[in-house]
Structure 1
Amino acid sequence: MKATGNRKWWALGALSASGLVIGLDITVLNVALPSLATELPATTSELQWIANSYNLVFAAMLLPAGLLGDRFGRKRLLLAALALFGMASLICAYASSAGWLIGARALLGLGSAFVVPLCMSVLPVLFSPQERGRAIGLWVTANAIGLPLGPIVGGWLLDHYWWGSVFLINIPVITVALVAVLLLMPESRSSQRLRLDLAGILLSCAGLVSLTWGVIELGDQGPGNGTPAVAVGGGVVLLAAFVACERQLGRRPAIRPLVDLALFRSASFTWATLLATLVTFGLLGALFALPQYFQAVLDADALGTGLRLLPLIGGLVTGARLASRLVPRLGARTPVTAGFLVLAAGLFAGTATGAGTGYGFVAGWLTAVGLGMGLIMPTVTDAALGALSVERSGAGSALIQALRQVGGTIGVAILGSVLNSVYRDRLDLSGLPTPAADAVRDSAPAGALVARQLDAPELLDTVRRAFVDAMDAMLWVCGGLGLLGAVLAVVFLPRHTGPVTAAPVGLPGPKAGESGQVTVG
């Protein structure tokens, strides 16, 4: 029993390391893009696809990944996904052209699409309801820390090595994770050998790709371009057809639907998933604006930008530890509501940031934002997982992640539009040559670079003031969403979540042939 207990916590360490690498890989690319533009070289369009190829494949394959894990074995597919992620990282590091890098990034997205929901789906199998909150807190914190850690690690590597090193950092962690998962994690799968929902897989993949691509392009090009708008509309139609298809398949016992729509009858699952999507919206919005602020306004380099995000990490870790202590005593509703209130307070405080504000003030409200997120994220993840049986933990975990991914993508597009719109409206570019004016409008870091090249301190001051006004407007929107999250948590989130049907490894549980088949090996 004791050995089994130790093994599952060591296995959690492997899962957390995998989540950390994937979170880091999402944001490490942000600081590498300027180097890719000059050293690879890559055009602006190719740079966009280097980022978006990952996002599109990741969004499209999340739902099938969870279902396939339930069907064929979560450990088996997790090992294959980790190996694929490591191989794709090597290809990325040594890519000789933008085309190769785009293809390798798509493979990274495919590996991530399996790793994330499969890691998440194993948690209800490994841990009892009493242990699950702590385990999820550690796993979610590792995932969340990876996002702001990306610019820190990437900035240091770019200062000392070539651009491919930002992908090679994945290799040692993935290697350790592979060995740990192979030796420590039990295999688990659904005992029901039902036919796969091929129609659902095709409709969901096509719908998520169309919707995600359209939202990304609308964020880049603005609402005036018709093609992305058509893609968004087509994605919505395809996803509506997917829901209708799943509803019909739910009445046919011979086929397992890709998404169990009955999950949405659970208030814990529905509202916890919605609140997780909402907080992801805010986190990605902050990570979108803050690096630009640090570089354009505070003159930070890539490494300095990452280091200035450390208060966010500190707040996240502290909040997650608080949540693990509060939830057993108070239930889920109180910590989540408090977390959204702290998050909103931090974001509203951030709206007082000016062009001349010192970093100490920014670090203070960043810490509050991280603290609020740390209270929310593991708690709502635990509440959503608590509604899943072991039998459907893979597909259910994938659904949670798919909604968060699409919600985060839409959030960045909307918040990016707010940021860009206000920034451009506040600029005074009178007398500036057209090519220079266009470069300034592109982004605040580009505007600051133009001002320095022209030795124009007034233009630099204009760029900084315009961007800070834009960031403040975006933070007002994010703060409002934080208040909305607090209201939704109070009104709709149950105080306590329902019991999980899984038994922890090492305790009496489902036998072979019963729901949630588990083998230790």
Structure 2
Amino acid sequence: MSRDDPKRPAPGWTLAMSIAASSLSFIDGSVLNVALPALRQSLNAGAADVQWVVNAYTLPLAALILTGGALGDHQGRRRWLVIGTALFGLASLVCAVGNSLALLLAGRALQGVGAALLLPNSLALLNSAYHGEARGRAVGIWAAAGAISAAIAPLIGGWLVAHAGWRAIFYINLPIAAAAIAIALAKVTEVKERKPSRLDAVGAILATLALLGLTYGLTLWSADRALGPTAPFALGAGLGLAIAFGWAEWRRGDKAMIPLAYFRDRAFVALNLLTFLLYGAFGVSMLLIPYVLIDAGGYSPVEGGLALLPLSILMGLLSPLMGKLAQRVGPHWPLTIGPLLIAAAFLLATRIAADQHYWPSVFPAMALMAAGMTIAVAPLTSAVLASVDAEHTGMVSGFNSALSRTGGLIATALIGGVLGAEGKGLLHAFAGAMVVSAAVAAAASVTAFVGLAGKKGKPSG
């Protein structure tokens, strides 16, 4: 398809729309992490309640994002991006005006559904609008914009928490959602699969229920630090449903939500396993570092947001260059070195203590984490989008995003002991969580080194 073809998606506007839509998810996570201590105090919530404020969003996002990508591939990516973005905006309003934990959790769950529809279709539309090195640079700009928005959001969110209360943080999403919808409808051409096939509804239901059981059981276990009567039942049900999901996908063959033929490619498996490991470990750090600084270190919500600023600034400045470079050198070495630096950053973060200043104890870890994430994020996204044919980028983007969210989902479910600790006990538990996260990030590095060996950079069309 030539650049002058009127059916070709407008690259610049598609990039702007993709940034606006996907930034909703980045902003929401970074703002909420700063607001969690105030939210917990305001609602008199326990450790498990705090976990569910996070997981109520991540669960439907992880479970339904495959369906969101498949719907876009089959029925139109722009259509489902607009639907998902509108749903996210509505859910944010519910969270903002809600006056109870139950209503907040309902709004968070609805946000997760909206994000599951908008995220894979945002990246799929971006992938279809660019080619070759231009695609790598566009993905780098997308990653940089996400980092910048994630940097600004905690500062605004911290100020809002301090001056207007934690509910105000959800209003930030409304103008961004409106802008994304307006650009999509006015400037972005619809893109969908030429030969749509039947959606895998059974697979979507089984995946959702399996994740619900596993996450609920893990959350109960980590919050209570013991296996009561409910947690083993939930875990067993989740595991059984996960097995049923695998069997159902095998029976459907090429018509499955996740065709098993993709898993014959070593690089495809490595990329997705790396995503699961890396984002699980990174999600723990992004939740715990501001939480510990505010709760144990005496930081204000604004100061907690400022603590994360070097991470986002460095990623914002360098990700476009890294995305372009990755198209030339391939993903092997960037995805080996990046997670290794992140593992080292997590080990540095164990030095955070209640009586230490920011520059000697927090900044070195954040700077090293920024370097690792900058090296890894754009090459990982580009490699995943290039791993299959153009007609299935929505589904594959959805699958990879589901793994990243599931990694964070399971990790969040397992840190109830940290969130439930106080004082020196909180710092000790935090240090232990960072050591485990470092081991997981190192495993992601080994996965890339072994699984992507020999994978060279090349122009993608």
TM-score of the two chains, using structure 1 as the length reference: 0.80
Following superposition, the deviation at residue 178 of structure 1 comes to: 0.7
Match of residue 452 from structure 1: none
Contact 1:73 1:187 (C-alpha < 8 Å) held by counterparts: yes
Partner Cα distance (2:321, 2:119) in 1? 24
CA shift digits 1:206-236 (9 cap, x unpaired): 1122222222333322242242232222212
Higher normalized contact order (CA 8 Å, seq sep 6+, divided by chain length): 2
Count of residue pairs the alignment pairs up? 456
Pairing partner for 2:421 from 423, 436, 443: 443
Q: Whole-Å Cα distance in 2 between the matches of residues 316 and 111 of structure 1?
A: 26
**What code does the residue aligned with 2:337 have?**
A
Structure 1 residue corresponding to 2:186, chosen from 172, 179, 183: 183
* Residue deviations 1:404-442 (CA, integer Å, cap 9, x gap): 11111122334554x46xxxxxxxxxxxxxxxxxxxxx3
CA distance in 1 between counterparts of 2:41 and 2:113 reads 27
Separation in structure 1 between the aligned mates of residue 116 and residue 342 of structure 2, nearest angstrom: 28
Specify which of 404, 429, 434 is matched with residue 470 of structure 1: 429
Q: Does 1:95 align with 2:98?
A: yes
After superposition, residues 229-244 of structure 1 pair within 5 angstroms as 229-244=232-247
Aligned to 2:155: 152
Matches within 5 A, 1:301-450: 301-361=300-360, 362-415=362-415, 417=417, 419=418, 442-444=420-422
Q: Does 1:85 align with 2:59?
A: no
Q: Does 1:493 align with 2:446?
A: no
Could you tell me how far 1:53 is from its partner in structure 2? 2.5
CA contact (8 A) 1:270 1:384 kept: no
CA deviation after TM superposition for structure 1 residue 61, in Å: 1.5
Other-structure match for 2:125: 122
Q: Which amino acid in the other structure matches residue 387 of structure 1?
A: S
Structure 2 partner of 1:104: 107
Deviations 1:17-37 (A, max 9, x none): 221121111242344445556
Q: CA deviation at 1:64?
A: 1.4
Compute the displacement of 1:116 (Å).
Answer: 1.0
Describe the shift of the 1:188–1:173 C-alpha distance in structure 2 as closer, same or farther (beyond 3 A): same
Question: Match of 1:409, as an amino acid?
Answer: L
Amino acid corresponding to residue 372 of structure 2 in structure 1 = G
1:22-68 deviation per Cα after TM superposition (whole angstroms, max 9, x unaligned): 111124234444555666x5654765544432222222211211111
Instruction: Please give the alpha-carbon distance, in whole angstroms, between the structure 2 residues aligned to 1:141 and 1:82.
Output: 20
Structure 1, gaps ≥5 residues long = 421-441, 445-462, 504-521
- Distance in 1, Cα, partners of 2:427 & 2:101: 33
**Structure 1 269/499 Cα, relative in aligned 2: closer, same or farther at 3 Å?**
farther
Instruction: Give the Å deviation of 1:160.
Output: 2.6
1:451-492 CA deviation, whole Å, 9 max, x = no partner? xxxxxxxxxxxx34x433333332222222233222222211
Residue 204 (structure 1) aligns with: 207
Q: CA offsets per residue over residues 374-410 of structure 1, 9 Å max, x none?
A: 1112211211111122221121111111111111112
Within 5 A, what are the aligned runs for 1:230-309? Answer: 230-250=233-253, 256-309=255-308
Q: Identify if the C-alpha distance between structure 1 residues 218 and 142 changes in structure 2 by more than 3 Å, giving closer, same or farther.
A: farther
Contact 1:84–1:108 at 8 Å: present in 2 too? yes
Q: CA deviation at 1:372?
A: 0.1
Separation of aligned partners in 2, 1:201 and 1:497: 34
- Match for residue 443 of structure 2 among 484, 500, 504: 484
Q: Determine if contact 1:316/1:372 at 8 Å carries over to the other structure.
A: no
The Cα offsets for residues 221-275 of structure 1, whole Å up to 9 and x where unpaired, read as: 2242242232222212212211111111116xxxx32112211122232111211
- Cα RMSD after superposing both structures: 2.7
Q: Which moved more, 1:488-497 or 1:4-13?
A: 4-13
Structure with larger Rg? 1
AA aligned opposite 1:373? M
Equivalence for 1:509:
none
> What SS class does the counterpart of residue 189 from structure 1 fall into?
coil
Further displaced range: 233-242 or 366-375? 233-242
For 2:108 and 2:337, the matched residues in 1 are separated by: 38
CA contact (8 A) 2:345 2:365 kept: yes
Distance in 2 (CA, whole Å) between partners of 1:408 and 1:133 is: 26
Letter in 2 for 1:299: G
Greater Cα offset, 89-98 or 359-368: 89-98
Identity of aligned residues (%): 30
- SS of aligned partner of 1:99: helix
Unaligned residue ranges in structure 2 (runs of 5+): none
